[in-house]
Amino acid sequence: MFNEHIRYTDGKLYCDSVMVDSIAAEIGTPVYIYSLSRALRNLRRIQTLFPEAHVHFSTKSNANLAVLSALIGAGAGIDAVSAGEIHKALLVGAQASDIVFAGVGKTREELEYAIRQRVGWINVENVRELDHINSIAAVHGRTQRVALRLNPDVTASTHPYIATGHSYAKFGLTAEVVRDILANQSKYPGIQIEGLHIHIGSQLHDTAATQRAVEIAQEIIAPFPTIKTLNIGGGLPVAYSPDEVVPAWDDFAAVLRPLLNGYQVILEPGRSIVADAGLLVCEALYVKKQAGTTILIVDASMAELIRPALYEAHHEIVPLVENQGEQHITQVVGPVCESSDLLGKDLLLPDLQPGERLAVLNAGAYGMVMASNYNQRLRPPEVVVREDGNTWMIARRRETWDDLTRTEMMTG
């Protein structure tokens, strides 16, 4: 939704001091635009709310190099879930020691790479993974610091696709396995187990489940004083519509900080840092009035932003030029050949004409990173409005037809 960085001024949508339409007019649509000031402001707010914690930005939510570079420059560590994410973070100056490598299915090659790069932490989700790390570390004559990811068996209040802390989720180790590993640490001379990791889900709608998960983690590590670090994952929520009620980040801090006293704490926020810093700007192509509704066909689709199609996620969509006209129930859809290719369902929008531009709000997290070439669409460019608020740059260019075919071979 709107905030101090993304708002109307004199009837025009602005990203900081840059008129959004001026960017779209220059480089075309669809285009992602990010306010670096907003992302940095969100990072600083979380750092202030959790002063004892070290914040590792969850790269999976937005892996744009300019965004990563700005956040790393402001003191963020990195939460990476693939060797590719580690590679991108290192490229823009992340300290390897400030990277947490997580993931339910790390390959042996990825573990090799991470250990060779000397990442600070590996969050372990599988006993066999411990064996891999142990043997790789031995080859390199080192010990690797790890945290065990606990599946605390609590159910987070969020969309089922992004809840991860219940017992039948694929994530983490059961309490029993964690206890067993901790009791047998001497089996792993190449590993120092120094932390416990939990992440019960994203876009959390209550604080109680996280509180419970932290308490369970603490009970488990109580007999093991060498486990001093608690990594409590991500999950801080963002309101995607004016009527979505989510707990304030202060509420999470108020509940969790007293519990975390005496531990070293790691947080892995993604969405909360970048979601409301980003827009996806598109242009209306066609309008149809049928079946009692308005169907607005725009030039962005589920290929550029899959959240509405995948999770029935709601994003506010607003015209770049404020329009006080009468509002109608409108379906904002893309050109992709799927009925699920919907960016906005039953939105109240004024009548818009082909050629008018719109912005999908709160698109900075899990937007471009989940984009695809479905229907052989070209992935859009990413623009950042720099921290000065006045200048912007193309941080990733629009793909071309050459990009579409670059990795393919024709036989015969």
Q: Which residues are catalytic?
A: 337
Q: CA-CA distance, 138 to 210, in Å (whole number)?
A: 36
Is residue 5 at the binding interface for ligand LLP, with CB under 6 A as the rule?
no
Q: CA-CA distance, 213 to 101, in Å (whole number)?
A: 21
Considering only residues 66 to 125 of the shown chain, the ones binding ligand LLP according to CB under 6 A are 79, 102
How would you write the chain as a 3-class SS string? CCCCCEEEECCEEEECCEEHHHHHHHHCCCEEEEEHHHHHHHHHHHHHHCCCEEEEEEHHHCCCHHHHHHHHHCCCEEEECCHHHHHHHHHCCCCHHHEEECCCCCCHHHHHHHHHHCCCEEEECCHHHHHHHHHHHHHCCCCEEEEEEECCCCCCCCCHHHECCCCCCCCCECHHHHHHHHHCHHHCCCEEEEEEECCCECCCCCCHHHHHHHHHHHHHHCCCCCCCEEECCCCCCCCCCCCCCCCCHHHHHHHHHHHHCCCEEEECCCHHHHHHHEEEEEEEEEEEEECCEEEEEECCCCCCCCHHHHHCCCCCEEECECCCCCEEEEEEECCCCCCCCEEEEEEEEECCCCCCEEEECCCCCCCHHHCCCHHHCCCCCEEEECCCCCCEEEEECCCCHHHHHCCCCCCC
Task: Choose which of 61, 62, 82, 301 interacts with ligand LLP (CB under 6 A).
Answer: 61
Residue whose C-alpha is closest to residue 383's, from 28, 7, 75, 85: 28
Query: With CB under 6 A as the contact rule, which of the stretches 39-47, 89-97, 107-115, 233-241 interacts with ligand LLP?
Result: 233-241
Give the nearer residue to ligand LLP in terms of CB position, either 352 or 361: 361
Query: With CB under 6 A as the contact rule, which of the stretches 37-45, 90-98, 265-273, 353-361 interacts with ligand LLP?
Result: 265-273
Give the nearer residue to ligand LLP in terms of CB position, either 105 or 325: 105
Give the nearer residue to ligand LLP in terms of CB position, either 244 or 388: 244
Cis bond before residue 30 (omega within 30° of 0): yes
Minimum Å distance from CB 288 to ligand LLP? 29
Is residue 315 at the binding interface for ligand LLP, with CB under 6 A as the rule?
no
Minimum Å distance from CB 165 to ligand LLP? 10
Give the nearer residue to ligand LLP in terms of CB position, either 368 or 383: 368
Q: Angle between the 249-260 and 208-221 helix axes, to the nearest 10 degrees?
A: 20
Is residue 233 at the binding interface for ligand LLP, with CB under 6 A as the rule?
yes
Minimum Å distance from CB 175 to ligand LLP? 18
Task: Choose which of 268, 276, 304, 382 interacts with ligand LLP (CB under 6 A).
Answer: 268
Give the nearer residue to ligand LLP in terms of CB position, either 35 or 158: 158
Minimum Å distance from CB 150 to ligand LLP? 12
Task: Choose which of 30, 165, 234, 381 interacts with ligand LLP (CB under 6 A).
Answer: 234
Is residue 387 at the binding interface for ligand LLP, with CB under 6 A as the rule?
no
Minimum Å distance from CB 324 to ligand LLP? 32
Minimum Å distance from CB 266 to ligand LLP? 10
Considering only residues 325 to 384 of the shown chain, the ones binding ligand LLP according to CB under 6 A are 366
Considering only residues 12 to 41 of the shown chain, the ones binding ligand LLP according to CB under 6 A are none
Give the nearer residue to ligand LLP in terms of CB position, either 89 or 102: 102
Is residue 276 at the binding interface for ligand LLP, with CB under 6 A as the rule?
no
Is residue 307 at the binding interface for ligand LLP, with CB under 6 A as the rule?
yes
Give the nearer residue to ligand LLP in terms of CB position, either 144 or 202: 202
Minimum Å distance from CB 315 to ligand LLP? 11
Considering only residues 143 to 202 of the shown chain, the ones binding ligand LLP according to CB under 6 A are 162, 199, 202
Contact predicate 364/271, CB 8 Å: no
Query: With CB under 6 A as the contact rule, which of the stretches 91-99, 228-236, 332-340, 394-402 interacts with ligand LLP?
Result: 228-236
Total residues contacting ligand LLP by CB under 6 A comes to: 20
Contact predicate 256/232, CB 8 Å: yes
Is residue 271 at the binding interface for ligand LLP, with CB under 6 A as the rule?
yes
Q: CA-CA distance, 261 to 251, in Å (whole number)?
A: 17
Q: CA-CA distance, 297 to 286, in Å (whole number)?
A: 5
Task: Choose which of 152, 172, 270, 278 interacts with ligand LLP (CB under 6 A).
Answer: 270
Residues contributing to the site for ligand LLP (CB under 6 A) = 58, 61, 79, 102, 162, 199, 202-203, 233-236, 268-272, 307, 311, 366
